[in-house]
Amino acid sequence: MQLQRQFSGQIVTLDTQNLIGGGGEGRIYPVLQDPSLVAKIYHKPTDEDADKLTVMFSHPPDAPIAAGHSAIAWPVDLLHTINSKQQIIGFLMPRVFRAEPIHIFYNPRNRREQKPLFNYRYLHRTARNLVAAVNALHKSGYAVGDINESNMLVTDTALVTLVDTDSFQVRDPYTLEIYRCPVGKPEFTPPELQGKSFREIDRLPEHDLFGVAVLIFQVLMEGTHPFAGVYQGRGEPPSLEARIQAGHFPYSKKRVPYRPTPLAPDFKILHPSIQQLFIDCFEKGHKYPTERPDTKIWLQVLREAEDNLIICQKNHQHLYSNHLKSCPWCDRTKKLKGRDPFPSREAVRNQKHLQPAQPKQRKLLSLRQQKTTNTPRKPAPPKPIIINRKMGQYQPLLTPILTKTKPPSLPIIPLPGGGNGIAGIAKDAIWGSLWGVLCAAAVAGLVLGIIKGSLAVFGGTIVGILWGGFFALAWQYIIPVGMSGSSLGLTGAFWGGFIAVAISGSIYGISNRLESFGQAVLFGGFLGTIWGGIWSAFKPPLTLPVPGRVWGRRGLFLGAIWGAFLGTVIGAILAGVFVFQESMKENSNSWLELLSIFISSMIPAIGVGAMGGIIGGAVLGPILGAPTLPLSNKLSGIRGAFLGGIWGCFLGVIIGVILGGILPQFGSIDLVIIMRIDEDFTIILSTIFGAGLGAIAGCFSGAAWGGMGKW
């Protein structure tokens, strides 16, 4: 089966002959071109699935990874058919190697047969890594929803991967639309959601925290469910769901009609801090869900408990909390008739851990009874299960290193600024102000060169182009970035010319003491500061999702974005048509005058077109539908420039309209006079002029930032 990646455009071939797994929603296949990826293909793909996956791709969580192991099998690209419909039918995600469902590790029998050397320290680290993955999701605004033992995979080194991520609850941070998790297992569902339809519920972090606590309890208590117990009341024992809903925690300090099951480990083997967290979650959290311990507290306490584990002198595979006076696992081995929960390496080597439990000692019979009683035959020992792996395979425990999981993208040239919170916005605002000064100086320099006929500006531009092209080609041999020589040459020539225009224009304006030039540069710096701050804080939703149309609130949003861009393009075309008509007259102006007329007419034409486009798109988008943006974030190059130009135009128009209607009230802007707009500078004209200037600056800035991967 051949499909196309939605965002990279690559054609991929799926190995449909080797099915990895499947279920009610879809099937999972290997990818022939890349063995590190797998593809999930839906049986019945829907538009809602495509929208949800696009939001997920656009906003990956900061997932913890270690040694190339992803903690969350997040979508790295969408897959669509290569026919004319181009329907989204699945997605790509990282392939998880050498991992098993978590119940293989916490279930005593499964662990003894398949992972006999996975000791109590590894179980603590498994719980920690599980909580770390859920913590990353919660920090990014997601919820797991369907927490259960099947969508948590664990490796032999206690690394955890959350799978089935397309069932998670996803919230679009821009349209605020919530894609709910419609499924869930009752035994991991908090009491406040028992018996309710998940399709009608917005999951909260505290809902996940209940399921996380249940899993941690099972991991550290030999697979025992926290609400499993022996019923002490009358009648039939209530179901597990009813016990959860009633809050009857058998290990509770309160009086409940249950006692722990006889074969369950003693609750006191847990570190005291862990015991308290379970009580807080299942007792206090029963009535007040927000009182449940969050993932940060769990991480702290689990680390403390792991650090306080000590080794048994009789069996070095036995580890227990240092608050205990003796090894509980030695006692449990006796209770289980010789079946050791954590067999020694020697026992595993000799396959003693696979032997059946020791039978009970029978009383000696009298000689007469021995003669008359048939001696029972000994049952044949079961065939040993061969573990196809070498001893010592278990590596040292790996602690996940927090780093951002990013989908594959084109090479990105790093830029200053960026970050999170107020500091990140401040850095981007500073970078934006520098960018605005540079842009304004370049634009003013070009205008001065065209109108004043300054050879200094044009000379500086030519020198800058040659200088930029030379260093760009030299850079190719010093620091390769995966671009061709011609691409680097053109890119360098563009930036060299751009910087040279700014420098030469600045020199010309300062040397001739042009007040208008200084005002233009100050205006550019102010506009750039606003631009950088908004860009950093807003982080445009660059994927609004797949081919097709959307209506309603999203249609309004997308209609305004596309309207601004298309209005800008139409305004520029109309200005070009006007200049072309001027050039066809008998007394045609010189090319410098025509260029000046083009600039003078283009700004108001673009301003009118952009504002009209926003209004028209916002009106028609919800009714007739608006095209989606088929590109994604984390792009660079031509695609990044195109998408950045669209978003930059939209943001630039908004900023320009606001500033164009406010700044003229406090003083004149002589740059308008330079552009030969001789009409009175009214609020309407200034707003139009601001929208046009903002659209141009936004398109240019957005394309430049998008082309370099600054998203």
Query: Residue 649: CB partners within 8 Å, gap ≥ 6?
Result: 564, 565, 568, 610, 695, 698, 699, 702
Distances (CA, A) of 14 to 4, 30, 45, 313, 407: 11, 6, 17, 53, 19
**If phi over 0 gives left and psi between -120 and 50 gives alpha, with beta otherwise, what is residue 441?**
alpha
CB atoms within 10 A of CB 236: 7
* CA pair distance 327, 180, nearest whole angstrom: 46
CB atoms within 10 A of CB 628: 21
- Catalytic one of 49, 146, 166, 428: 146
* CA pair distance 475, 452, nearest whole angstrom: 36
DSSP 405: -
* CA pair distance 92, 90, nearest whole angstrom: 7
* CA pair distance 647, 544, nearest whole angstrom: 12
Given a contact cutoff of 8 angstroms between Cβ atoms, the answer to whether 619 and 708 are in contact is: no
* Cα angle value 250/251/253 (rounded, 5°): 110
Given a contact cutoff of 8 angstroms between Cβ atoms, the answer to whether 618 and 551 are in contact is: no
Query: Residue 16: CB partners within 8 Å, gap ≥ 6?
Result: 1, 29
Query: Residue 178: CB partners within 8 Å, gap ≥ 6?
Result: 169, 170, 171, 172, 202
Task: Give the CA-trace dihedral at 502, 504, 506, 508, to 10 degrees.
Answer: -150
* CA pair distance 569, 696, nearest whole angstrom: 10
Any bridge partners for residue 162, and if so which? 72, 152
**Orientation angle between helical segments 421-452 and 455-478, nearest 10 degrees:** 130
Catalytic residue status for 307: no
Any bridge partners for residue 550, and if so which? 626
Nearest to 536 by CA among 656, 694, 631, 422: 422
Given a contact cutoff of 8 angstroms between Cβ atoms, the answer to whether 497 and 446 are in contact is: no
Query: Residue 355: CB partners within 8 Å, gap ≥ 6?
Result: 338, 381
DSSP 667: -
* CA pair distance 485, 491, nearest whole angstrom: 10
Which tokens sit at 242? Answer: 């009813």
Distances (CA, A) of 572 to 66, 345, 477, 592: 51, 77, 39, 18
* CA pair distance 50, 166, nearest whole angstrom: 10
Query: Residue 636: CB partners within 8 Å, gap ≥ 6?
Result: 409, 410, 411, 412, 413, 706, 707, 708, 709
Pairing of strands 77-80, 626-627: unpaired
109: number of CA atoms within 13 Å, CB side? 3
Catalytic residue positions, numbered? 146
